Chains A and B, each alone.
Chain A
């Protein structure tokens, strides 16, 4: 019924019209009246300013239309996704590499948990090693470009591992200051994380060293010192991680983990295996590590290596 009523209403459009004679007369009368106000009848020109204001008005109106806003939002989202995706595969020297690093920094800044930050930064260091791998086997760049790229990637690697080392030292100090207040579950998780980081740091140092061996002798010579510093930083991370393990009341943490009292802390089977192995190593090698520690400064206030100078 409603459609029928609307149809009837629409019919009024053709049925209700003004009288034609009146319409013509009124038009003439109105035109006469308004032209009487205009001194000289001239052709009206709109000009550039007029067209510009017309364009801005239409654009403003269109811009505020929901469909246009939707398209703009989608476009921005799609473009940023593409940029992020492209940045993910970028290498040093490429414009999107800075975006990649900035995204990593943002990711790290948004992570509030100390342990999660350590893991994240270790992950970033792993990414640097992967990038180094790609650079070493790149054939479309000359030797100088390659060296510059290696320097940049090693510099970033070094930054990542120093940040990890600092975090570990901070954690270690915090644990020393309030060990009695820390729950056994948290202690166990910290031990687990430190052991995982230690093992990864060892591997990172080894990988970094190994990758460089594949470079031509000239390039190797050029980046040798930088790589050595970076490898040393990675080894220091390993050491800091081990210090952290030692700083925690190990038997409790280890017992908690190995006996399975802490649910959810031993989900990762590989880490558990490493944990058991490292706890044994830690107990037997304590003396050796203390000696190494004495030789190496790993404090959080340590100045950054002048790697790119």
Chain B
């Protein structure tokens, strides 16, 4: 659900004034999209849930403390989520995983393996999810933001810190690769 721009601004204004009610409304509005966004970036549901909660807590801390003007609440939330995922991988890499972020993002995780093993009436959805997980992080990110969360190119550019042009290029490449993977998977299934 996309809130109206003005409604979003009002919520942000109230949030800055430490209004828990506004925080709850923002949580209700953005919980699902942020969860989905993180879900495709991490290996387990548990990690996705922990990071999603962390996003909202960080949002509260930042908005109530900063003096800077926040132009776009949605972009701020997605950016916070993105940074938290990057921190998460950095922490894990230091601890026990020597692999870099990109390798990690393209690795098929345990949940995915289990999903692929299940053959049920949701076979198509799982296939597309598996395809998404085979894509590198940049590509997966733009596909989710554009087609799942239905964000505009300008909003995506703001979240990803890229120009509109390069977002379009990445999106085009991501779709092309997804198409190739689907074709390849279809052939191997047959």
Contact = CB atoms under 8 A, between A and B. Distances in A.
Interface string B101-121: 000000000000000000000
A288 interface: no
15 contacts: A9-B143, A9-B148, A12-B36, A12-B128, A13-B148, A18-B31, A19-B49, A23-B31, A26-B49, A31-B24, A34-B23, A44-B22, A46-B14, A54-B13, A58-B5
A12 B57 CA distance: 26
A19 B49 CA distance: 9
Contacts of A16: 35-36, 39-40, 129, 148
A5 interface: yes
Contact of B17 (A2, A13, A19, A44): A44
Interface of A: 1-2, 5-6, 8-13, 15-19, 22-23, 26-27, 29-31, 33-35, 37-38, 41, 44, 46, 50, 53-54, 57-58, 61
A10 B49 contact: no
Given A12-B129, A30-B53, A44-B22, 20 more contacts: A5-B178, A6-B147, A8-B124, A9-B132, A10-B147, A12-B36, A12-B144, A16-B35, A16-B40, A18-B32, A18-B35, A30-B56, A34-B20, A34-B23, A34-B60, A37-B18, A44-B17, A44-B18, A46-B13, A58-B9
**Interface size class, chain B:** 35 or more
B39 to A, nearest CB: 6
Contact of B20 (A13, A17, A38): A38
B10 interface: yes
B162 interface: no
B27 A9 contact: no
Please provide the 5 A-B residue pairs with the shortest distance between their CB atoms, ordered closest to farther. Answer: A44-B19, A9-B147, A8-B128, A18-B35, A44-B17
B179 interface: yes
Contacts of B29: none
B20 A35 contact: yes
B32 A17 contact: yes
Given A8-B124, A30-B53, A46 B32 contact: no
A21 B88 CA distance: 24
Contacts of A27: 24, 27-28, 31
Q: Which of A12, A23, A26, A53 has most chain B Cβ within 10 Å? A: A12
Contacts of B144: 9, 12
